[in-house]
Structure 1
């Protein structure tokens, strides 16, 4: 029996990782320089605060260009963990979920007119857990498909309001495009 499953976003493009490393390296260097030059008398305290503020901004930009999301599934213990990962650091808590029903993909309109696609795991009767948010339907579908296969449950395409369709997973794999059940 499968023990642990990891569904992860694709690795960030090289250019984003390079930018992230530049921001994070700059933050570390500025922080070290600020601590080295720290003179906490009243005249320099404002400069110290501004430099620490810049370190925080640089770190934030570095994190924004480097994090990715993963979902860990422990089938033996019926536990899930959605994490935000920055290098080896993983932030997220384990949740116990049983009685899986299905995985759904639907979209939410954004204020700028774009759509964001959400992948949810439905369990018990009407409870759900948001696994992923993606701007691309194909990426959201792939993640939803993988999770539904691991859990051996159905996949629902709810991207068209009031026209929900169950995905025929076997036919979809064979055809190489999304096929819906009748």
Structure 2
């Protein structure tokens, strides 16, 4: 794969407050795992008595359950998304990552349908890539319509997709994909 054959679209960055909340969830998860280990070794459980073993198991399962929930929420808040387009092989990959850990799978360009420009309630223009199964991926936000349109035209030219301008939700328009 040559560099010219690969295009990467990165999801916009998370806000600092989201990163802080995710770090707090990870910290909570590690604290709960630590307490699970400490309690496990410091409790004096008589393994011949069923009631003590049941009480120990209930305590351990709740610590483990809440640590899994905390780690899950932290991971969900910290994961980022890349869309990698391999133009030579006509395929794309939606790749999620947290730090050095990446996962995702390749799909054919035939799943791609169009690029959408939408205006949200905060007057921000969002660019989405729509798939044939009505699924979409939001990948960029712009404050200026012209910048959003230029980016949509660039991507539609590379991927040979149509552009749906739905910045006015009451009047969506399919735009010409060729640049003048």
Q: After TM superposition, is the score higher than 0.5?
A: yes
**Residues 97-106 or 82-91, more deviating:** 97-106
TM-score (norm 1): 0.65
Structure 1: runs of 5 or more not aligned: 109-116, 172-182
**Residues 20-29 or 159-168, more deviating:** 159-168
User: Does residue 28 of the first structure (1) align with residue 30 of the second (2)?
Assistant: yes
Over aligned residues, Cα RMSD in angstroms? 3.9
Structure 2: runs of 5 or more not aligned: 46-52, 121-125
Deviation at 1:131, TM superposition (A): 4.1
Do 2:91 and 2:106's aligned partners in 1 also have CA atoms closer than 8 Å? yes
Question: Which has more helix, going by share of residues?
Answer: 2
Deviation at 1:32, TM superposition (A): 3.1
1:114 equivalent in structure 2: none
Deviation at 1:63, TM superposition (A): 2.2
Instruction: Supply the distance in 1 between the matched residues of 2:19 and 2:113 (Cα, whole angstroms).
Output: 37
Deviation at 1:73, TM superposition (A): 0.7
2:175 aligned to which of 142, 166, 173: 166
1:87 aligned to which of 91, 99, 102: 99
Where does 1:2-151 land on structure 2 (aligned, <5 Å)? 2-38=4-40, 41-98=53-110, 102-105=114-117, 119-121=128-130, 127=132, 130-133=135-138, 141=148, 144-145=152-153, 147-151=155-159
Deviation at 1:132, TM superposition (A): 1.1
Greater relative contact order (Cα < 8 A, sep 6+): 2
Secondary structure in structure 2 of the residue aligned to 1:48: helix
Instruction: Supply the distance in 2 between the matched residues of 1:131 and 1:22 (Cα, whole angstroms).
Output: 30
Aligned length: 161
**Off by >6 Å, runs of 4+ in structure 1:** 134-137
Instruction: Supply the distance in 2 between the matched residues of 1:119 and 1:95 (Cα, whole angstroms).
Output: 17
Q: Point out the structure with max Rg over C-alpha.
A: 2
